[in-house]
């Protein structure tokens, strides 16, 4: 007869729930990385019905009580985009789209505290 050791995640439902939450939180935050999304797409993970259902399940992180734990807001945006088959398909086929997402994310992080820099970003893009 197998028993769980005291202090292991299986011995206390509260500990097990916390461990699961932390694991799911870590995964959701990884979704902020466009290169990670592209890797998942290249491995056909984004096409698996079970994984798509898991992504739907993770939408609970958009609720205020859970979103407060997110350190990378782009993770929630990408989680929302992953709900759409077209986004998942483009992530797999188009490396330029991955680069575009990466650049958009970088520009946001670079300018989000100073709205005057937004004009400089737009002007630089127009000059290209």
Are 127 and 121 within 8 A, CB to CB? no
Residue 30 domain flag: yes
Q: How confident is the model at residue 14, as a pLDDT? A: 94
Host domain of residue 65? 13-94
| Structure tokens that stand for 4 in this block | 């769980």
pTM of the model: 0.71
Provide the number of structural domains found in the chain: 1
Cα gap 68→61, rounded to integer Å: 9
Q: C-alpha angle with apex 19: 18 to 23, nearest 5 degrees?
A: 115
Is residue 128 situated within a structural domain? Answer: no
Q: Which of 75, 82, 72, 63 is nearest to 31 (CA)?
A: 75
Instruction: Tell me, yes or no, whether 114 lies in a domain.
Output: no
- Per-residue pLDDT tens over the stretch 68-125: 999 988 899 999 999 999 989 988 886 766 666 766 776 666 666 666 665 655 555 5
CATH number of the domain residue 59 falls in: 1.10.10.1340
71 falls within a domain: yes
Q: What are the tens digits of pLDDT across the range 33-48?
A: 888 998 999 999 999 9
């Amino acid at each position: 007869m197998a028993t769980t050791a005291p202090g292991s995640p299986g011995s206390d439902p509260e500990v097990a729930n916390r461990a699961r939450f932390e694991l799911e939180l870590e995964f959701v935050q990884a979704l902020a990385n466009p290169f990670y999304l592209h890797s998942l797409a290249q491995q056909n993970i984004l096409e698996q019905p079970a994984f798509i259902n898991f992504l739907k399940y993770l939408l609970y992180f958009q609720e205020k009580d859970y979103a407060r734990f997110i350190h990378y807001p782009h993770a929630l945006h990408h989680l929302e985009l992953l709900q759409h088959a077209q986004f998942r398909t483009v992530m797999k086929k188009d490396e330029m789209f991955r680069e575009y997402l990466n650049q958009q994310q970088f520009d946001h992080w670079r300018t989000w505290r100073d709205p005057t820099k937004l004009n400089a970003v737009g002007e630089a893009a127009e000059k290209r």
